Amino acid sequence: MPPEELVSDVRFLAHSTLRDGQINMVNDGYNALTNGGFLLANAPTGIGKTAASLAAALTIARSRAGTQVLFLTGRQSQHRIVVDTVRKINELIQDNGRNVTLVDMIGRTSMCKDVDQRTGKCSCEQGIPESERSNRRFSLIKDILSEPQHVEYSIEYAHKRSICAWASAREAVPDADILVCDYNHVFLENVRKASLSSMGIELENIVLVVDEAHNLPDRIRRSLNLNLTYRMMGSAVDELREYCDEVEKKGGNSGAMVASIANGRDCERALQEFRKQFSLWTKKMRGDSADANDIGKKIEEKVDAGRVLAMLRKELSKEEIDLDTLINQLNLVDQSQLDQEDDDDEEELDAHRVANFLSILNRYELDTALCVAFNSQGDEDRITTHLLDPGIVSKDIFNQILGGILMSGTLTPPEMYGETLGIPASRCSFKSYPSPFLEDRRPVMIASDVTSKFTARGPENTKRMRDHIHAVLRETPGNVAIFCQSYKMLEEVVGEGYWPGRRTYIEDRTWSKRVVDARINDLYNARNGGIKVLLAGVFGGRLSEGVDYSGNILDAVICVGIPIAPQSVPQAALREYIEKNHGRGKGWKYGVIQPAVNNVLQGMGRAIRKVDDRAFVLLLDNRLLNGQYRSCLPTTLKPFTATDSKRTGRMAKRFFERHPDPAKGD
């Protein structure tokens, strides 16, 4: 794409000189937003997409009174990038000297001390008089709005002065140009209703920027993944009974109070009887399954939401109450009224969990966008809801807002994400920008002699994979990351291998954020100490998503396999739904192959974070060389082919002879 002249109306630039691709993205974003539309940008790392999106979004927002920019991201490291970018914008500001103001927020449990998850209250300001609390909050709000501050600053400031960082940030939002926060503030209904309006934000008055937008569909889907179990209902019945007991003790003899308690008792009995019917039904489901005699095998069957609700409604009708009444009664259960043995237990009440599940089941009872599955393994039976169409949630939101920019380095193809999220094509501009990295600085090689296809795997295939890995390790002067399609393959290929001369860290499912941060810090310490590290994880795991490998700390990345989602009832339902609603041939591509290939692209991108970075990339799966898998790779990607590990070694050697040192700076 040839460079263009910057649209004259655009202001709020973070750099005095813009890259060619950045100019194009600024113009595309501005033009889309001017027309009340959306730019869906497949924008690779290094193009400067944060600065480009903010320039376009702020220009539009500042031209319309009462309009704010919401910058959504699932990564806290990206929050810092946004804040730093706005600081640079303010250094070059030419908008009558009025600086851009910003509020940076994360979850309340991360911003406050001792948050009670049941009540949602914190103890940050406990014992502080109201007048003093207001003065202290005002001082923090003034600091936040005078200069863009990282959320860590607000937290540290607030904790030292015994005020609530979260509440102070919310009070600052109405006077800010930009709110940086998580996807949930917009796309999770209960969070949106509780947060946006209380901060003075209306959907009709926002310009939305969604970073790492390839994650948004799954984030929305997961928000409606809820479970219902026999044990959970038992706890809910106990909580409801105890709540009614406490209300009865404290209540009066008024007709309204007596009626309320009677209603609660009716709900308690109905739920208890439904629990018994649920147990009988799940036992029958296990007995009818073809796998029922295979001890220990997981049983999974698709079930009809209406069948489950019919059982419940039958029991409710005996008490002359309806489903909405039961849901409301369960939500009335108040933690403060219950006699809990462990005051530090912060788990959500099962009464509320059951209410949420029944609410979702009721709302989508006749909608094919919801798949309900029965699962049984060992002694546990459950039914689970799976949202197949995130557009059911996001469509109305996109219809209400002024416009937006959705961007990611792996928004491939952007048209797929527009369809999936329910954004009308007439309001969309789909753009894919070329990578600013010359092929010489990030060569991609695909091995043609190995595969992760299940039917072709075996000892010889694994040995060839390890030979390719050894070839890269021998020629790479610094740290190398490996990402595998599953924990099983990680153990098979890396865990059971021998890697001389390398300090090796292998991810497992138990790793916490603290462990991940320590391992990443070890990379920098190892480089300073002349030690080479092999860091191994899985696609979609803690090491391959949400981690910023800055400072060109990775010299090479090796991607092993393609993380095709395992066959399951929800996966089959998703393919069928996409095929029916988005067109023939798209079920397999949109539902299975493209998301898997995009995970590989995410892994590849871990090594390259800035224009000057350099890294060698090796993909160990020959399916990426042709057919439908190859068609899912960006057209701008021109990979080399390695017929064996010797060619991989030669290519890696030549690459590091040309580029022996990592990029300088952060």
State residue 38's pLDDT score: 98
Top mean-pLDDT range of 333-347, 429-443, 455-469 = 455-469
Whether residue 241 is found in the same domain as residue 296: yes
State residue 649's pLDDT score: 98
Q: Say how far apart CA 496 and CA 340 lie, in whole Å.
A: 47
Q: Say how far apart CA 14 and CA 102 lie, in whole Å.
A: 15
Q: Tell whether omega for the bond before 459 is within 30 degrees of 0, i.e. cis.
A: no
3-state secondary structure of 654: helix
Over the chain, what is the mean pLDDT?
Answer: 91
Confidence of residue 518 (pLDDT cuts 50, 70, 90): very high
State residue 16's pLDDT score: 87
More confident residue, 510 or 117: 510
Whether residue 263 is found in the same domain as residue 234: yes
Q: Within 10 Å of residue 262's Cβ, how many Cβ atoms?
A: 12
Q: Say how far apart CA 7 and CA 4 lie, in whole Å.
A: 9
3-state secondary structure of 537: strand
The pTM for the full model equals 0.90
State residue 438's pLDDT score: 62
Q: Is the pLDDT of residue 485 over 70?
A: yes
Q: Within 10 Å of residue 527's Cβ, how many Cβ atoms?
A: 19
Residue 43 near residue 434 (C-beta atoms within 8 A): no
CA-closest candidate to residue 19, choices 51, 60, 42: 51
Q: Is the pLDDT of residue 335 over 70?
A: no
| Ramachandran area for residue 585 (φ above 0: left; ψ -120 to 50: alpha; else beta) | left
Residue-wise pLDDT for 569-584, tens only, equals: 999 999 999 999 999 8
Q: Say how far apart CA 558 and CA 362 lie, in whole Å.
A: 46
Where helices occur in 113-225 by DSSP H, the ranges are 130-146, 151-161, 165-172, 184-187, 189-195, 216-223
Residue 64 near residue 402 (C-beta atoms within 8 A): yes
Confidence of residue 19 (pLDDT cuts 50, 70, 90): confident
Residue-wise pLDDT for 273-298, tens only, equals: 999 999 999 999 888 665 555 555 67
Question: Given the DSSP bridges, would you call strands 227-229 and 380-387 parallel, antiparallel or unpaired?
Answer: antiparallel
Find where tokens 């490996």 sit. 482
3-state secondary structure of 641: strand
Cα distances from 160 to residues 111, 156, 166, 230, 240, in angstroms, run: 13, 6, 14, 46, 40
Measured in residues, the chain has a length of 666
Residues in contact with 507: Cβ distance below 8 Å, sequence separation at least 6, in sequence order: 490, 536, 537, 538, 541, 542, 543
Q: Could you tell me if residue 396 is inside a domain?
A: no
Q: Could you tell me if residue 666 is inside a domain?
A: no
Tokens linked to 61: 């927002």
Q: Say how far apart CA 78 and CA 69 lie, in whole Å.
A: 16
Q: Could you tell me if residue 310 is inside a domain?
A: yes
Q: Could you tell me if residue 395 is inside a domain?
A: no
3-state helix, strand, coil in the chain (%, to 5): 50, 15, 35
Q: Is the pLDDT of residue 490 over 60?
A: yes
Q: Within 10 Å of residue 388's Cβ, how many Cβ atoms?
A: 24
Phi, psi at residue 660, to the nearest 5°? -70, -25
What's the whole-number mean pLDDT along residues 85-110? 89
Residue-wise pLDDT for 618-648, tens only, equals: 999 999 999 999 999 998 889 999 999 999 9
Whether residue 345 is found in the same domain as residue 475: no
State residue 531's pLDDT score: 96
Q: Tell me, what CATH number does 595's domain have? A: 3.40.50.300
Tokens linked to 308: 């489950």
Whether residue 191 is found in the same domain as residue 282: no
Domain interval for residue 363: 227-387
Looking at 174, 191, 214, which one is the last position of a domain? 174
Residue-wise pLDDT for 151-172, tens only, equals: 999 999 999 999 999 999 999 9
Least confident of 138-142, 209-213, 611-615: 611-615
Sheet strands (E) in 248-312: 299-303
Confidence of residue 548 (pLDDT cuts 50, 70, 90): confident
State residue 340's pLDDT score: 44
Whether residue 381 is found in the same domain as residue 408: no
State residue 253's pLDDT score: 64
Looking at 174, 191, 209, which one is the last position of a domain? 174
More confident residue, 609 or 476: 476
Find where tokens 């990564």 sit. 75
The 8-class DSSP code of residue 533 comes to: E
User: How far is Cα of residue 230 from the mean position of the Cα atoms in its chain?
Assistant: 30
Q: Could you tell me if residue 194 is inside a domain?
A: yes
Q: Could you tell me if residue 397 is inside a domain?
A: no
Q: Is the pLDDT of residue 8 over 90?
A: no
Whether residue 26 is found in the same domain as residue 146: no
Whether residue 280 is found in the same domain as residue 424: no
Q: Is the pLDDT of residue 251 over 80?
A: no
Q: Could you tell me if residue 272 is inside a domain?
A: yes
Tokens linked to 251: 């209540």
Q: Which amino acid is at 661?
A: D
Q: Say how far apart CA 506 and CA 519 lie, in whole Å.
A: 10
Least confident of 450-459, 492-501, 604-613: 604-613
Q: What is the DSSP code string of 80-115? A: HHHHHHHHHHHHT--STT----EEE---HHHHSSS-
State residue 344's pLDDT score: 37
Which percentage of the chain shows pLDDT scores above 90? 73
Whether residue 338 is found in the same domain as residue 448: no
Confidence of residue 331 (pLDDT cuts 50, 70, 90): very high
Q: Say how far apart CA 432 and CA 447 lie, in whole Å.
A: 26
Q: Which long-range contacts (CB under 8 A, 24 or more apart) does 566-570 make?
A: 568/300, 568/373, 569/300, 569/301, 569/302, 569/371, 569/373, 570/371, 570/373, 570/384, 570/386, 570/388
Q: Is the pLDDT of residue 343 over 60?
A: no
Cα distances from 524 to residues 46, 90, 503, 625, in angstroms, run: 21, 32, 13, 34
Q: Say how far apart CA 216 and CA 394 lie, in whole Å.
A: 10
Find where tokens 């219902």 sit. 228
Q: Could you give the dihedral angle defined by the CA atoms of residues 558, 562, 568 and 571, in that order, rounded to the nearest 10 degrees?
A: 110
Least confident of 102-106, 179-183, 347-351, 636-640: 347-351
Whether residue 505 is found in the same domain as residue 362: no
Q: What's the chain's Rg over C-alpha atoms? A: 27
Could you tell me the strand order of the sheet in which 68-72 lies?
102-104, 178-181, 68-72, 206-210, 403-408, 38-42, 428-432
The 8-class DSSP code of residue 472 comes to: H
Whether residue 493 is found in the same domain as residue 559: yes
- Domains in the chain, number: 4
CA-closest candidate to residue 216, choices 434, 414, 432: 414
Q: Is the pLDDT of residue 238 over 90?
A: yes
Q: Could you tell me if residue 665 is inside a domain?
A: no
> Using CB atoms within 10 A of its CB, is residue 265 exposed (0-12), middle (13-18) or buried (19+)?
middle
Q: Could you give the dihedral angle defined by the CA atoms of residues 177, 182, 186 and 191, in that order, rounded to the nearest 10 degrees?
A: -120
CA-closest candidate to residue 187, choices 203, 204, 166: 203
State residue 339's pLDDT score: 47
Whether residue 17 is found in the same domain as residue 155: no
Whether residue 633 is found in the same domain as residue 508: yes
Find where tokens 């750099």 sit. 15
Answer positive or negative: Cα dihedral of 130, 134, 137, 139: negative
State residue 664's pLDDT score: 73
What's the whole-number mean pLDDT along residues 340-357? 71
Residue-wise pLDDT for 107-116, tens only, equals: 888 899 888 7
How many Å from the N-terminal Cα to the C-terminal Cα in the chain?
29
Least confident of 85-99, 365-379, 634-648: 85-99
Confidence of residue 190 (pLDDT cuts 50, 70, 90): confident
